[in-house]
C-alpha cells in the first residue's frame, strides 16, 4: 500500500516533468522556484555560451537546503567552467533567497546544441522531506565563428584605416600651411616699399622748392646727403663719405647707364661747389639738381618694376 508521502512525491515528480516540458521557470507548490536560461539563442563557434540556473523562494531564508547541483548534460558543447553564489534581497516587503549557478559552455561544431534538463534537489526543513525540480531542455544554434579582435585581418584594417586618417590629416595641415605661406608672401610683397619711393618721399619732405623760406645753400647740402645715402644703400658701399670719383667708379662697376652716371657726376659736383665755395648757390641750379635726383630715383624705380629699360648698360 502506498503511503501518502510516496504518493506526494509521485505527484511532485509528475508536476516537475510536465512543467519542464513547457517552461524554463519551474515552481513547486511550496514556493521554491527554479529558472534556467542561456545568454543567447545563437552562439558563434569561437565564443562562450553562458547557461544560468537560479533557485529562489520567499519567506524563511533558511527553510530549504539546496543539494549540490551537478553539471548539466550538454550536447555539442563542453563545460569550460562553473560557479555558484548566494544572496538575499527584499522584494515587495518580503525577503527573497537566491541561489545562482553559472556554467560556461564552449561550442564544439556548427549546428544545433542542447542543454538537457537539470535536476535541482532540495530538502524542505519544515517537513524534512527531500524534493527536486527539473529544468527545461534548452537548444542553441552554433553559427560561424566571428573574427577575433587580435585577428591579423582586423589588425590590417585598423592599420590601413589609421594610415589613411594620418595621411588625410597631414594633407590638410600641408594645405593650410601652403595657404598661410601664400598669404604671408602676398602680405610681405604688399608691405615691401622700394627704397626709391622712400627716398622720393624723403626728398619731398625735406625740400619745398616754392617755399618762401627756402634756404638754398642748405637745400644743396640736404640733396647731396639724401642722394649719397640712397647710393650707399642701393649699391652697398660707403657713398656718404666717398669722393665723387670713387662713387662714379662704383656705378661703373655696377654697369649703371652712362646717362645716369653723368647725372650723378653733375649732382655731386654742383652740390660740392656750393658747399666748399662759400657761395649761396642759385635757385635755378638747385631746381636742376633736385630734378636730376628725382629722375635718377624714378629710373631705378621703373627698372625694378620692369616697366622701362634697364638702368644698366646694354
The model's confidence at residue 8, banded by pLDDT at 50, 70 and 90, is very low
**Which residues, including other chains, have CB under 8 Å from residue 223's CB and lie 6 or more apart?**
203, 207, 267, 271, 286, 289, 290, 293
The model's confidence at residue 16, banded by pLDDT at 50, 70 and 90, is very low
Which of 100-109, 186-195, 238-247: highest mean pLDDT?
Answer: 100-109
pLDDT at 283: 87
Give me 82's grid cell.
562553473
Global pTM reads 0.42
Q: For residues 304 and 194, what is the distance between their CA atoms, to the nearest angstrom?
A: 8
* pLDDT per position as a tens digit, 251-274: 888 888 888 889 898 999 888 888
CA distance to 81, 84, 122, per residue, from 69 (Å): 14, 9, 10
- Higher-pLDDT residue of 165, 26: 165
**CATH architecture group of domain 4-143:** Sandwich (2.60)
Helix, strand, coil fractions of the chain, as percent rounded to 5: 45, 25, 30
- Is it the case that residue 125 has pLDDT exceeding 90? no
Contact indicator for 199, 297 with CB cutoff of 8 Å: yes
* pLDDT per position as a tens digit, 287-302: 999 999 999 988 888 7
Amino acid at each position: 500500500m502506498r503511503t501518502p508521502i510516496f504518493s506526494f512525491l509521485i505527484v511532485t515528480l509528475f508536476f516537475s516533468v510536465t512543467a519542464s516540458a513547457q517552461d524554463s521557470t519551474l515552481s513547486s507548490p511550496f514556493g521554491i522556484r527554479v529558472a534556467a536560461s542561456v545568454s543567447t539563442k545563437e552562439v558563434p563557434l569561437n565564443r562562450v555560451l553562458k547557461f544560468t540556473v537560479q533557485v529562489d523562494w520567499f519567506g524563511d531564508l533558511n527553510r530549504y537546503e539546496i543539494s549540490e547541483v551537478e553539471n548539466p548534460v550538454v550536447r555539442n558543447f563542453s563545460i569550460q567552467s562553473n560557479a555558484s553564489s548566494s544572496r538575499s534581497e527584499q522584494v515587495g516587503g518580503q525577503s527573497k533567497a537566491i541561489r545562482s549557478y553559472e556554467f560556461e559552455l564552449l561550442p564544439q561544431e556548427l549546428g544545433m546544441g542542447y542543454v538537457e534538463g537539470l535536476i535541482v534537489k532540495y530538502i524542505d526543513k519544515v517537513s524534512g522531506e527531500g524534493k527536486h525540480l527539473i529544468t527545461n531542455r534548452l537548444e542553441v544554434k552554433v553559427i560561424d565563428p566571428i573574427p577575433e579582435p587580435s585577428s591579423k585581418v582586423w589588425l590590417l584594417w585598423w592599420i590601413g584605416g589609421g594610415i589613411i586618417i594620418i595621411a588625410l590629416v597631414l594633407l590638410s595641415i600641408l594645405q593650410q600651411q601652403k595657404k598661410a605661406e601664400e598669404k604671408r608672401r602676398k602680405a610681405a610683397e604688399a608691405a615691401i616699399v622700394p627704397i626709391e619711393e622712400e627716398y622720393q618721399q624723403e626728398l619731398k619732405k625735406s625740400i619745398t622748392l616754392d617755399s618762401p623760406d627756402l634756404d638754398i645753400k642748405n637745400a644743396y647740402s640736404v640733396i647731396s646727403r639724401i642722394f649719397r645715402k640712397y647710393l650707399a644703400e642701393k649699391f652697398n658701399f660707403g657713398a656718404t663719405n666717398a669722393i665723387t670719383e670713387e662713387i662714379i667708379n662704383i656705378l661703373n662697376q655696377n654697369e649703371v647707364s652712362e646717362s645716369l652716371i653723368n647725372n650723378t657726376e653733375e649732382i655731386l659736383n654742383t652740390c660740392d661747389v656750393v658747399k666748399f665755395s662759400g657761395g649761396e648757390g642759385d635757385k635755378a641750379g638747385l631746381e636742376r639738381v633736385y630734378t636730376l635726383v628725382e629722375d635718377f630715383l624714378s629710373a631705378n624705380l621703373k627698372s625694378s618694376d620692369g616697366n622701362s629699360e634697364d638702368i644698366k648698360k646694354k
